[in-house]
């Protein structure tokens, strides 16, 4: 290979990582750990972890189906009141505890949703096996509720005072469309920062995956099987629509979209054409334009299938959570110091990212932070512990890592509690 070509290739190899790097502003200063009150708060978290895990287990075993979070809400309210917060419960059940600042600082909301996806009759008894807890809902999101309460206790134990108000919200109905957070933000003063405590430890999410849930219901007169030949049937319309919807094949995430048929229901007897049946579509994309375009395309397909078969179509919109934008659209949000500060604190705590080379910041998210992102509020979601299999009966969580999740929350509160002080940016992969 000619020398000049080899030198050109070497230069390109050296320069490539530099092109991929960008300098992001941060408010994190490792010297923050030298503050006596911060050190005391972190020590309190370490010492209190066994009690925190016991409380976590108690919370996980309380009923928490969306819309039925009252037991969990009452518990969180009582604990916040014991800790001296000004507590209120709104009309849909959100529990808000305000830790007042001295004035002149930002209002920071920390949100941990109280609900779990499982119905009340689900057995949520927690099984403890070494450093792992097993139970439906143990990871998503019982862990964050316990982390939130442990953070407040550590702040109090260390007598930490902030200029800005720290607002801790146990939200409801997160699992069915972020309804609690949406209601809270519409009925309270706009916060300066919003931090959702939801997800596994690892990448910091600063975006919002738009989520549309729609039910497509087909209706017809029905018929006895003996007289069904040649008659319109919702079954053929439904089958045709589902097949054509799956054939749409949009560009994949993270910048594209995903379509899933989550439910198919209908019919009550073997020997007849059903009169009423439906399927549901879970459509997700960070791109608002693509999300709306696909939503219209899916509805058009469903309508065409109904007309072809000669049956009625009823479209029932369950929820429409707006999209925050693609990574390119959210370049400004990525540069807000909240994102890089959370990343830098995680590095300080030794939080693992998962797969080697995994990004530390993701322009997506499916948490209470989504509502803030869409509203233009600087918002992120942070992890609670390590764990997996959420939304399944085999859900599990690694309890020792809840200490890192709680410390991350506390250090964000103390770093930003007196204002957003931006340090010189650092080169970040």
Q: pLDDT tens digits for the chain (429 residues)?
A: 443 343 344 344 334 443 345 789 999 999 999 999 999 999 999 999 999 999 999 999 999 999 999 999 999 999 999 999 999 999 999 999 999 999 999 999 999 999 999 999 999 999 999 999 999 999 999 999 999 999 999 999 999 999 999 999 999 999 999 999 999 999 999 999 999 999 999 999 999 999 999 999 999 999 999 999 999 999 999 999 999 999 999 999 989 999 999 999 999 999 999 999 999 999 999 999 999 999 999 999 999 999 999 999 999 999 999 999 999 999 999 999 999 999 999 999 999 887 666 789 999 999 999 999 999 999 999 999 999 999 999 999 999 999 999 999 999 999 999 988 787 655 544
The DSSP symbol for 385 reads B
Residues 292 and 418 in one domain: no
Hey, which residues does 287 pair with through a beta bridge? none
Q: What angle do CA 367, 370, 375 make, to 5 degrees?
A: 155
Residues 189 and 79 in one domain: yes
Residue corresponding to tokens 């400004």: 332
* pLDDT computed for residue 353 by the predictor: 85
Residue 18 covered by a domain: no
Contact 201, 119 (CB under 8 A): no
Residue 2 covered by a domain: no
Residues 336 and 410 in one domain: yes
Residues 159 and 227 in one domain: no
Residues 182 and 216 in one domain: no
How far is 136 from 117, CA to CA, in rounded Å? 9
Residue corresponding to tokens 């809270």: 184
Contact 165, 152 (CB under 8 A): no
> Number of folded domains in the chain?
2
Q: What is the H or E stretch that residue 214 is in?
A: strand 210-219
For residue 4 the two structure tokens come to 């000049």
The DSSP symbol for 361 reads E
Last residue of a domain, one of 256, 288, 321: 321
How far is 162 from 160, CA to CA, in rounded Å? 7
Residue 17 covered by a domain: no
Residue 241 covered by a domain: yes
Residues 299 and 351 in one domain: no
CATH for 412: 3.40.630.10
Residue 298 covered by a domain: yes
Q: Do you find a cis peptide bond into 141, omega within 30 degrees of 0?
A: yes
Classify residue 138 as exposed, middle or buried by CB count within 10 Å of its CB (0-12, 13-18, 19+).
buried
How far is 148 from 153, CA to CA, in rounded Å? 9
Residues 225 and 249 in one domain: yes
Residues 344 and 200 in one domain: yes
How do beta strands 108-113 and 193-197 pair? parallel
| Helix/strand/coil percent split, the chain, to 5 | 40, 25, 35
Contact 72, 64 (CB under 8 A): yes
Q: Which domain holds residue 66?
A: 24-208+324-428
Residue 176 covered by a domain: yes
Residues 200 and 171 in one domain: yes
| 418 conformational bin, left if phi > 0, alpha if psi -120 to 50, beta if neither | alpha
Residues 294 and 338 in one domain: no
Nearest Cα to 368, choosing from 168, 212, 194?
A: 194
The DSSP symbol for 138 reads I
CATH for 231: 3.30.70.360
Residues 180 and 52 in one domain: yes
How far is 295 from 119, CA to CA, in rounded Å? 29
Last residue of a domain, one of 257, 291, 321: 321
Last residue of a domain, one of 274, 306, 321: 321
Nearest Cα to 212, choosing from 262, 166, 169?
A: 262
Residues 86 and 182 in one domain: yes
Residue 11 covered by a domain: no
Residue 156 covered by a domain: yes
How far is 373 from 191, CA to CA, in rounded Å? 12
Nearest Cα to 326, choosing from 255, 245, 415?
A: 255
């Amino acid at each position: 290979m000619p020398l000049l070509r080899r030198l050109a290739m070497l230069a390109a190899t050296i320069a490539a990582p530099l092109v991929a790097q960008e300098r992001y502003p941060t408010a994190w200063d490792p010297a923050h750990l030298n503050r006596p009150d911060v050190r005391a708060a972190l020590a309190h978290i370490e010492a209190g972890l066994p009690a925190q895990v016991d409380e976590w287990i108690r919370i996980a075993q309380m009923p928490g189906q969306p819309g039925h979070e009252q037991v969990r809400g009452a518990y969180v309210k009582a604990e916040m009141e014991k800790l001296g917060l000004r507590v209120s419960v709104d009309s849909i059940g959100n529990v808000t505890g305000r830790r007042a600042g001295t004035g002149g600082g930002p209002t920071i909301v920390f949100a941990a949703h109280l609900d779990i996806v499982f119905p009340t009759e689900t057995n949520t008894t927690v099984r403890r096996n070494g450093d792992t807890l097993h139970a439906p809902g143990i990871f998503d999101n019982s862990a964050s509720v316990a982390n939130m309460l442990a953070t407040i206790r550590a702040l109090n134990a260390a007598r930490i005072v902030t200029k800005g108000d720290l607002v801790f919200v146990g939200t409801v109905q997160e699992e069915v469309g972020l309804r609690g957070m949406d209601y809270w933000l519409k009925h309270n003063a706009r916060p300066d920062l919003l931090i959702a405590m939801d997800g596994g430890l690892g990448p910091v999410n600063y975006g919002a995956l738009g989520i549309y849930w729609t039910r497509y219901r087909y209706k017809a007169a029905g018929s006895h099987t003996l007289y069904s030949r040649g008659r319109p049937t919702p079954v053929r319309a439904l089958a045709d629509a589902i097949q054509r919807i799956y054939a749409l094949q949009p560009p994949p995430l993270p910048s594209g979209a995903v379509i899933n048929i989550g439910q198919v229901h209908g019919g009550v007897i073997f020997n007849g054409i059903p009169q009423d049946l439906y399927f549901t579509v879970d459509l997700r994309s960070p791109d608002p334009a693509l999300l709306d375009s696909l939503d219209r395309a899916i509805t058009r397909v469903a309508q065409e299938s109904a007309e072809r078969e000669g049956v009625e179509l009823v479209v029932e919109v369950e929820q429409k959570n707006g999209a925050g934008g693609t990574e390119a659209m959210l370049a400004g949000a990525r540069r807000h110091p909240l994102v890089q500060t959370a990343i830098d604190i995680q590095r300080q705590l030794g939080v693992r990212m998962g797969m080697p080379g995994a990004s530390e910041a993701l322009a997506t998210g499916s948490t209470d932070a989504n509502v803030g992102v869409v509203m233009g509020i600087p918002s992120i979601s942070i992890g609670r512990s390590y764990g997996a299999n959420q939304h399944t009966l085999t859900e599990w969580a690694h309890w020792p890592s809840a200490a890192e999740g709680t410390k991350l929350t506390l250090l964000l509160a103390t770093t930003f509690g007196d204002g957003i002080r931006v340090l010189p940016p650092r080169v970040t992969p």
